[in-house]
C-alpha cells in the first residue's frame, strides 16, 4: 500500500503529545520522502475545522489521558471532525505515569468508528501535567527513539499491505466501551473533589502578557483580565506550563492533596507500550 500523505494530529496543552506525534510522523516521512502536515487541535478555534482523509493517507493521532479516558471536552472533535474513509492511522496516548486505563482503547475505538484502520497504537509514559515529579522530563531522547522505531516498524507493515481493509481490528489494553473515569483521591484515600477548581494568579508576578489566555485549551481565561477564568477549566495546565513569569498555579486543597498522593504512590517509571495490527486471515 502506498502512502502519499502523512498527517500528525494532536491535542497537546503541555507539548508532550506534540513531540511524540511529530517524531513518529517525521520518521515515516523521512523514509517515504514526504512532507508532514500537522493538525494541532489544542486551541478551541482549531476544533471548528473538519478534515477528510482517504486510502493513501496516514494519520498519526495523539491525545493525553485525563482521569483514565480521553478528555471529554475534546472527544467530540475526534468523533465528528475527522473522517477516515479507509485511511490508515496510528493512535497513541500519553499518560502521567499512573495508568492509561481505557484511554487508548477509547481512541482506537473512535478511530475505527470514524472510518480509519489503525495499523498500530501506543501508550507513552510522559511527565504528568501537574504532578511533575512523575516521569519527569519525559518524553526524553530514549522515548523519542522508541517512538521513531515503532513508526518504522509500522511503515514496514503498511508497505506489505495491499489495502487497509486487510488490517484486522486492533486489540489493545483497556475496555471497549470504556469504563468510568478514574476518581482522584486525596492523601487520606478519600475522593479528591476539585472539578470546579481554576488557576489562580500571583498578581505580583504576572506581567499581563496574555500568554495564559492565548494558550488556554478551552479559551476560558479572560484576555482583558487574566486573573479571571469565567469559562470551563479542564486542568490541562497549559496556562501554568507556558506562563513566562510562573504566575499561575492551582491552590485548591483537594487538588494539592491529589498531587501529593500521585507523587507519593506512582513514582516508579512506567515503560512505553506498543501494539501492531495483524492482517485479516
Domain boundaries, the chain: 5-180+269-276, 200-251
Q: How many alpha carbons lie under 13 Å from residue 106 in its C-beta half-sphere?
A: 25
- Cβ atoms of residues 68 and 99 within 8 Å: yes
- State residue 24's pLDDT score: 98
Q: How far apart are the first and last CA of the chain?
A: 18
- State residue 197's pLDDT score: 97
140 contacts: CB under 8 Å, gap ≥ 6? none
| Cell numbers at 148, concatenated | 521513531
Q: What is the DSSP string of 96-135?
A: -SS--TTHHHHHHHHHHTTT-EEEEEEEEE---SS-TTTT
- Cβ atoms of residues 36 and 88 within 8 Å: no
Q: How far apart are CA 267 and CA 260, in angstroms?
A: 11
CA 279 to centroid of chain Cα atoms:
27
Q: How far apart are CA 38 and CA 212, in angstroms?
A: 23
Residue-by-residue pLDDT tens, the chain, 281 positions: 899 999 999 999 999 999 999 999 999 999 999 999 999 999 999 999 999 999 999 999 999 999 999 999 999 999 999 999 999 999 999 999 999 999 999 999 999 999 999 999 999 999 999 999 999 999 999 999 999 999 999 999 999 998 898 999 999 999 999 999 999 999 999 999 999 999 999 999 999 999 999 999 999 999 999 999 999 999 999 999 999 999 999 999 999 999 999 999 999 999 999 999 999 86
CATH of segment(s) 200-251? 3.30.70.20
Instruction: Report, at the CATH architecture level, how domain 5-180+269-276 is classified.
Output: 3-Layer(aba) Sandwich (3.40)
- Cβ atoms of residues 97 and 270 within 8 Å: yes
Nearest to 74 by CA among 112, 47, 114: 47
Q: How far apart are CA 53 and CA 67, in angstroms?
A: 30
pTM of the model: 0.97
Domain 5-180+269-276 and domain 200-251, same fold? Reply is: no
- State residue 280's pLDDT score: 87
Q: How large is the angle between the packed helices 141-159 and 16-32, nearest 10 degrees?
A: 40
27 contacts: CB under 8 Å, gap ≥ 6? 147, 148, 149, 151, 152, 155
Q: How far apart are CA 89 and CA 54, in angstroms?
A: 11
Amino acid at each position: 500500500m502506498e502512502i502519499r500523505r502523512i498527517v500528525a494530529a494532536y491535542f497537546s496543552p503541555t507539548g508532550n503529545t506534540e513531540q511524540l506525534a511529530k517524531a513518529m510522523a517525521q520518521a515515516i516521512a523521512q523514509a517515504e520522502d514526504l512532507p508532514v502536515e500537522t493538525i494541532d487541535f489544542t486551541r478551541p478555534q482549531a476544533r471548528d475545522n473538519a478534515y477528510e482523509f482517504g486510502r493513501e493517507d496516514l494519520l498519526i493521532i495523539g491525545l493525553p489521558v485525563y482521569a483514565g479516558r480521553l478528555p471529554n471536552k475534546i472527544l467530540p472533535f475526534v468523533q465528528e471532525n475527522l473522517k477516515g474513509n479507509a485511511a490508515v492511522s496510528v493512535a497513541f496516548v500519553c499518560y502521567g505515569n499512573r495508568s492509561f486505563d481505557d484511554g487508548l482503547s477509547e481512541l482506537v475505538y473512535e478511530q475505527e468508528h470514524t472510518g480509519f484502520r489503525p495499523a498500530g497504537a501506543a501508550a507513552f509514559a510522559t511527565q504528568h501535567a501537574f504532578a511533575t515529579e512523575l516521569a519527569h522530563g519525559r518524553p526524553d531522547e530514549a522515548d523519542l527513539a522508541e517512538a521513531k522505531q515503532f513508526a518504522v516498524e509500522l511503515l514496514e507493515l503498511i508497505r506489505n499491505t495491499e489495502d487497509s481493509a486487510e488490517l484486522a481490528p486492533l486489540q489493545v489494553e483497556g475496555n471497549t466501551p470504556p469504563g468510568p473515569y478514574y476518581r482522584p483521591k486525596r492523601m487520606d484515600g478519600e475522593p479528591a473533589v476539585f472539578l470546579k477548581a481554576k488557576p489562580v494568579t500571583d498578581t505580583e508576578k504576572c506581567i499581563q502578557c496574555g500568554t495564559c489566555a492565548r494558550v488556554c485549551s478551552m479559551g476560558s481565561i479572560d484576555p482583558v483580565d487574566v486573573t479571571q477564568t469565567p469559562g470551563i477549566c479542564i486542568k490541562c495546565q497549559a496556562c501554568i506550563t507556558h506562563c513566562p513569569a510562573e504566575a499561575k498555579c492551582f491552590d485548591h486543597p483537594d487538588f494539592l492533596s491529589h498531587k501529593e498522593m500521585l507523587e507519593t504512590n506512582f513514582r516508579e517509571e512506567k515503560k512505553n507500550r506498543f501494539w501492531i495490527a495483524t492482517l485479516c486471515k
